[in-house]
Amino acid sequence: MSKIEKLCRKYTNLSISDIAKLQQLETTLAYYAELAECYMFIDCMVDNQSHAIVVAEAFPKGQNHLYEQSVIGKIVFESFEPAVFSAFRKGEKASVSRAITQEGITVEQHVIPIFNDDEQVIAVLIKEKRMEAQEKSDEVVQQMPFALIEHIVKPDFQPVPVVSDLLVESIILTNHENKVIYTNPAGYRFISELSGRDSFDNIALDEIFPFLQQVYNQDDDVFFLEITVDGKSFIVKKIPIRNQSDKVTLLIIHDLTELKLKENELMMKTFAIREIHHRVKNNLQTVTSLLRLQMRNAVSASHTAAFQEALNRIYSISSVYELILENEDNAEEKVDVIALAKKIGNKMMDTAHTANVQLHVQHDNLQLFCHSKKAVSLAIIICELVQNALKYAFTSHQEGLISIHFCQENAAVSLHISDNGVGMHEAKPSLGMEIVTRLVEYDLAGTFTIIPSDRGTHTQIQFPVCEEVFILND
């Protein structure tokens, strides 16, 4: 298996016929390079990634090598070679008269897309030629990227302000001795504040900051390091820039200190909220225990039933906090509504001691979540309606079924709770119905309807999807 086939199979989603087309082109690549006296490359996009990879190369004989080593298998980033990615996206020829490669070499670059039989861009063909150093006028120099200015300007030349002056990131250029030759204002402040020096001329930067030694010692084309020094956190990116006469290193340093502080504040708030949830849950359990003690002294069955209804309502609220606390990464306090309905429904069935009545929860693979306040309202609604069905629908211990069904209807959620019991001829005012109606209308901004049914009772709650009620799609 050839190199190009191995790389394409490993890093791309190209078909066998696409790879065969690139292999055929590779056989003629050396002739193109010799004829044009330029370096030739074939680049392919990496599957499910935003960068490309070099899969083939050729160069003219008898010339000084543009690259010290083969670049086959090297990753190509858009920030360095925008023409390559422009050709991929637009399917058109792209050119850059003065491009800087990832190795810091200034080249003239021309790129054309390579199409398959279905007119899809499968790769790009790149022609590169080294740009020879020339004397530039001050006007031309002022239009050049700051990374090139230090190599060609006169000692007393002061370039016009560049984009780097506006960046919050520290931009620092150092020479082959790791001495600073350029900083933007943010870079100057970074060095000055962290070192306590007003001047750092003729001092190697890794002597001022020993932690940068491991950055300079890395041979990678692009190297990242996250580090914390004196309570400050940074991401340091190192990019080597080479030309004929010098070796320059570009450091881009992003201060993460404020972001880390905000993360810590958010983490502390999250811990505080979770602690509040724990205490609410524990307090509800205490109330439950007190009600159970009181229930033992109930003088009649009606009193016992009233206590049990109150216990069920408290349990439904407590279930919300239990589901939140089960997930330690649940910073948004979102509650799985389907899991909540199952948890409450099963508890109602256990306390009712109705072995002949079954509970069925349907959700049509709907992944419904909501924030804690809405979840509490939904929990109480489900508790009330299931409790009513268990209390009134099935008489004389007859067999029966209670169904809880969630479904999505455009930008709304429908919750259907029904049973196949004796049915309800007319809705009578009760505490349970008043609780459900108020929670649906005021907390969920929805509607509560009793749907006529030939057998049993069928209730429907509809409420809109919003910031606090949302559906996750796979």
Average pLDDT over residues 304-326: 86
In this structure, the answer to whether residues 388 and 408 fall within a common structural domain is yes
How do strand 39-45 and strand 121-130 relate by DSSP bridges?
antiparallel
Q: Comparing 247 with 93, which gets the higher pLDDT?
A: 93
Q: Is the separation of the CB atoms in 347 and 340 below 8 Å?
A: no
CA–CA distance, 211 with 76 (Å, rounded to integer): 28
In this structure, the answer to whether residues 301 and 405 fall within a common structural domain is yes
Q: Is the separation of the CB atoms in 5 and 15 below 8 Å?
A: no
End-to-end distance of the chain based on CA atoms, in angstroms?
38
Average pLDDT over residues 34-57: 90
Provide the 8-state DSSP code for 62.
T
Residue 62 burial by Cβ neighbours in a 10 Å radius (0-12, 13-18, 19+): exposed
pLDDT band (50, 70, 90) for residue 299: low
Among 67, 101, 130, identify where a domain stops. 130
Q: Comparing 166 with 444, which gets the higher pLDDT?
A: 444
CATH number, residue 106: 3.30.450.280
CA–CA distance, 287 with 264 (Å, rounded to integer): 34
CA–CA distance, 346 with 341 (Å, rounded to integer): 8
Provide the percentage of residues in the chain whose pLDDT is more than 70: 84
pLDDT above 60: residue 53: yes
pLDDT for position 258:
78
pLDDT above 70: residue 311: yes
Residues whose CB falls within 8 Å of the CB of residue 16, separated by 6 or more in sequence, listed in order: none
CA–CA distance, 317 with 214 (Å, rounded to integer): 55
pLDDT band (50, 70, 90) for residue 124: very high
In this structure, the answer to whether residues 316 and 464 fall within a common structural domain is yes
Residues whose CB falls within 8 Å of the CB of residue 33, separated by 6 or more in sequence, listed in order: 39, 40, 58, 59, 60
Angle (CA) 31 64 110, round 5°: 55
Q: Is the separation of the CB atoms in 401 and 354 below 8 Å?
A: no
pLDDT above 60: residue 160: no
pLDDT for position 220:
67
pLDDT for position 361:
93
pLDDT digits over 421-444, tens only? 888 766 677 788 888 999 999 999
Q: Which amino acid is at 226?
A: E
Distance of CA 419 to the CA centre of its chain: 43
How do strand 121-130 and strand 94-100 relate by DSSP bridges?
unpaired
In this structure, the answer to whether residues 230 and 142 fall within a common structural domain is yes
pLDDT for position 330:
57
pLDDT digits over 233-254, tens only? 888 888 887 654 567 888 888 8
In degrees rounded to 5, what are phi and psi of residue 44?
A: -125, 150
Q: Classify 430 in phi/psi space as left (phi over 0), alpha (psi -120 to 50) or beta.
A: beta
Torsion from C-alpha of 452, 450, 352, 373, nearest 10 degrees:
160
Greatest mean pLDDT range, 182-196, 225-239, 410-424:
410-424
Average pLDDT over residues 30-54: 90
pLDDT for position 161:
43
In this structure, the answer to whether residues 322 and 180 fall within a common structural domain is no
Q: Alpha-carbon torsion 149, 155, 157, 159, what sign?
A: positive
Average pLDDT over residues 321-345: 82
pLDDT for position 50:
80
Among 210, 234, 255, identify where a domain stops. 255
pLDDT above 60: residue 135: no
Among 130, 161, 186, identify where a domain stops. 130
In this structure, the answer to whether residues 54 and 143 fall within a common structural domain is no
Average pLDDT over residues 152-179: 62
Average pLDDT over residues 301-321: 85
Distance of CA 404 to the CA centre of its chain: 34
CA–CA distance, 272 with 140 (Å, rounded to integer): 59
Q: Comparing 410 with 56, which gets the higher pLDDT?
A: 56
pLDDT for position 243:
56
pLDDT for position 285:
83
Give the count of beta carbons closer than 10 Å to the beta carbon of residue 447. Answer: 14
Largest distance between two CA atoms of the chain: 107
pLDDT for position 157:
40
> What mean pLDDT is reported for the chain?
81
pLDDT digits over 146-158, tens only? 444 444 333 444 4
pLDDT above 90: residue 159: no
Encoded tokens for 268: 């502390």
Provide the percentage of residues in the chain whose pLDDT is more than 90: 27
Query: Which range has the worst mean pLDDT, 20-24, 254-258, 296-300?
Result: 296-300
How do strand 180-183 and strand 106-115 relate by DSSP bridges?
unpaired
pLDDT band (50, 70, 90) for residue 414: very high
Alpha carbon separation from 398 to 207, 354, 383, 465 (Å, rounded): 86, 9, 21, 38
Q: Is the separation of the CB atoms in 105 and 130 below 8 Å?
A: yes
Distance of CA 345 to the CA centre of its chain: 35
Encoded tokens for 70: 């083969």
pLDDT for position 376:
92
In this structure, the answer to whether residues 380 and 290 fall within a common structural domain is yes
CATH number, residue 397: 3.30.565.10
CATH number, residue 183: 3.30.450.20
CA–CA distance, 307 with 287 (Å, rounded to integer): 12
pLDDT digits over 186-197, tens only? 888 888 888 887
In this structure, the answer to whether residues 373 and 309 fall within a common structural domain is yes
Q: Comparing 99 with 239, which gets the higher pLDDT?
A: 239
Work out how many domains the chain is built from and give that number: 3
In this structure, the answer to whether residues 180 and 110 fall within a common structural domain is no
pLDDT for position 147:
42
In this structure, the answer to whether residues 220 and 144 fall within a common structural domain is yes
pLDDT above 80: residue 175: yes
pLDDT band (50, 70, 90) for residue 332: low
How do strand 357-362 and strand 400-409 relate by DSSP bridges?
parallel
pLDDT for position 132:
61
pLDDT above 90: residue 126: yes
Average pLDDT over residues 364-374: 89
Average pLDDT over residues 361-374: 90
Alpha carbon separation from 50 to 12, 77, 104, 462 (Å, rounded): 12, 8, 21, 43
Rg (CA), the chain: 35
pLDDT for position 265:
75
In this structure, the answer to whether residues 439 and 351 fall within a common structural domain is yes
In this structure, the answer to whether residues 362 and 430 fall within a common structural domain is yes
Encoded tokens for 125: 């063909």
Give the structural domain span for 217.
138-255
pLDDT for position 344:
92
